[in-house]
Amino acid sequence: MYNKGIYTPIQVGKAISEYDLGIIGDDTGDNISQKNPSYCELTAQYWAWKNVDCRYIGLCHYRRYFETVYTDELLERLFSKYDVILPRPIYSGVRDTMLNKLKMNIVPEDYAIFFMSIRKLYPEYEKTTLQYLARNADIPYNMFIMRKEAFNQFCQWQFSILEECEKHVKPLPYSRYNRIYGYFAEYLLPIYCLHNQMKIHHDGIVNMIGEHEKRQSWIRKQLSALFCQSPASSFDDIIGTSVLVGMKNDGIL
């Protein structure tokens, strides 16, 4: 793990781990460390939100970093122009929209709960969400850097949606599906930034600081353009009648 300068390693899920890595854990103060199997890196994000006082804050992974080595001085310069730093978008084929990606990773009842939670708490975000789902540009990994004040506002918004989802989502026996809130968060971060018209600086992603971003193949480069299908008119069009009826029968609705 990279730990020079302003980079600080943190052990996630420490409250339920049999190991102590000898670094800061996400299990002190106000925390959700025990939710790590379903919240993934968000347990570190939540801990930082509740327990860290600083001017700028960001999140990367033990095997994913921003390509740029950030310093206090560089952040001061960048944030005189931008509101947030996010990963460079990954463009896929014109039919591989963000909605299709969500459908591949999440069962219909769960993404229905996701959509309805957004609508219940923040109905003004429905249009932006539908527009993002219709794109072929993925801004992945739950990675960002932003001012702490903006971060606090974002976390309040994001975790309130995830907590609403938790009230209704039924556990599944497969570990991939149980990472559900981490998947949801990958959508919520760019949706929030786009909806609030934040000025975004995009950076490449590497496996370790000091490496260079792996360039796409020639064919991949030909797809590196934004494509947007006509967005659905509402969440109901995406969910479908049969799913809604089933959820009523299950007592979810």
pLDDT given for residue 201 in this prediction: 98
Does residue 83 share a domain with residue 2? no
Helix locations, 79-134, DSSP H: 98-105, 108-121, 126-133
Single out the residue in 30, 52, 74 at which a domain terminates.
52
Considering only CA atoms, which of 24, 237, 253 is closest in space to residue 127? 237
- 234 and 185 in a single domain? The answer is yes
Residue given tokens 């993934």 in the structure block:
40
Query: Among candidates 168, 174, 159, which has minimal Cα distance to 37?
Result: 174
Contact 203, 85 (CB under 8 A): yes
Judge if 86 and 127 occupy the same domain.
yes
Judge if 47 and 136 occupy the same domain.
no
Task: Give residue 121's pLDDT.
Answer: 98
Choose among 224, 202, 181: nearest CA to 92. Answer: 224
pLDDT in tens, 85-127: 999 999 887 668 999 999 988 889 999 999 999 999 999 999 9
- What token pair was written down for 23? 């670094």
Q: Are residues 75 and 8 in the same domain?
A: no
Q: What is the pLDDT of residue 186?
A: 96
Residues 109 and 41 in one domain: no
Euclidean distance between CA atoms 36 and 101, whole angstroms: 22
Given a contact cutoff of 8 angstroms between Cβ atoms, the answer to whether 111 and 103 are in contact is yes
Burial (Cβ within 10 Å: 0-12, 13-18, ≥19) of residue 7: middle
Q: What are phi and psi of 201, to 5 degrees?
A: -105, 120
Q: Is residue 81 domain-shared with residue 174, that is, in the same domain? A: yes
Domain range for 159: 56-250
Please check whether residues 34 and 100 belong to one and the same domain: no
Residue 86: helix, strand or coil by DSSP?
A: strand
Contact 14, 27 (CB under 8 A): yes
Task: Check whether residue 75 and residue 192 sit in a common domain.
Answer: yes
Residues 103, 44 share a domain: no
Residues 41 and 121 both lie in one domain: no
- Compute the distance between CA of residue 194 and CA of residue 132 in angstroms, rounded to an integer: 9
Our count of domains for the chain comes to 2
Say how far apart CA 73 and CA 136 lie, in whole Å: 34
Q: Are residues 47 and 155 in the same domain?
A: no
Cα–Cα dist 26/36, whole Å: 10
Residues of the chain with pLDDT under 50: 216-222
